[in-house]
Amino acid sequence: MITLITGSLVLSVLHGLIPNHWLPVLAIGKKEKWDLSETTRITVIAGLAHATSTVLIGVLLAFIGANLAVVVKNFTAYIAPGLLVALGIFFIWQHSRHHHFHMQGHPEQVSNKSRLIFSLASAMFFSPCFEIEAYFLVAGAEGLWLVALLAALYTIVTVSGMVIWVRLAHSGLLKMNWHSLEHNAGIITGITLMLSGVLTFLLH
């Protein structure tokens, strides 16, 4: 349980850091000359749209996990940890092929502000973070309360992270090697999933 919470928290923090989660908002805000308050508000909208689709998929997988735990013997003891390890290996392999996860494209340019915000939120909604979904699958076998906790943690941490980085970058206070971070995100994700799987197996 603690392993699942810790692992999901690590990935949530990582996703809040990844520039492709918040850089489009900042870029559009600069282009449209939005002030810091407006850019922050729209970042929250985009972040919530992104988190909503991720959590909806997660709840579905949690339901599947809960049912598998009932009908499949040793699901939580062996199969669930194995899935976490397998997904970790997949993301590291994906990293080696230079296919890094990111928001699929940028919203098309539109002149109307409301349409622009809707377009941005839609792009974020249809780009959920699949990396964290494995935790929902495993959490479903542990109970609804854990699923709810993971959903709340993911939403709060991811949206808060996006807001923090947008505000810092908007104010010119943020100087980091974002390319390096994004480039290594696949490895960090993979290692986190693999460690979670191993610890879940050992501590079950």
Domain chopping of the chain, boundaries: 2-203
Supply the pLDDT for residue 92: 79
What is the band of 95 on the pLDDT scale with cuts at 50, 70, 90?
low
Q: Is the pLDDT of residue 168 over 90?
A: no
User: Can you read off the two tokens belonging to residue 30?
Assistant: 């600069």
Contact indicator for 85, 158 with CB cutoff of 8 Å: no
Supply the pLDDT for residue 184: 65
Half-sphere exposure of 140 (CA within 13 A, CB side): 21
Of 63 and 198, the structure prediction assigns the larger pLDDT to: 63
As a whole number of angstroms, the distance between CA 129 and CA 126 comes to: 10
Q: What percent of the chain has pLDDT over 90?
A: 27
Of 194 and 102, the structure prediction assigns the larger pLDDT to: 194
Contact indicator for 38, 29 with CB cutoff of 8 Å: yes
Best-predicted range by mean pLDDT (17-26, 70-79, 89-98): 17-26
Of 46 and 186, the structure prediction assigns the larger pLDDT to: 46
As a whole number of angstroms, the distance between CA 199 and CA 11 comes to: 16
Q: What is the average pLDDT value for the chain, to the nearest integer?
A: 81
Residues 6+ apart with CB under 8 A from 147: 58, 59, 62, 136, 139, 140
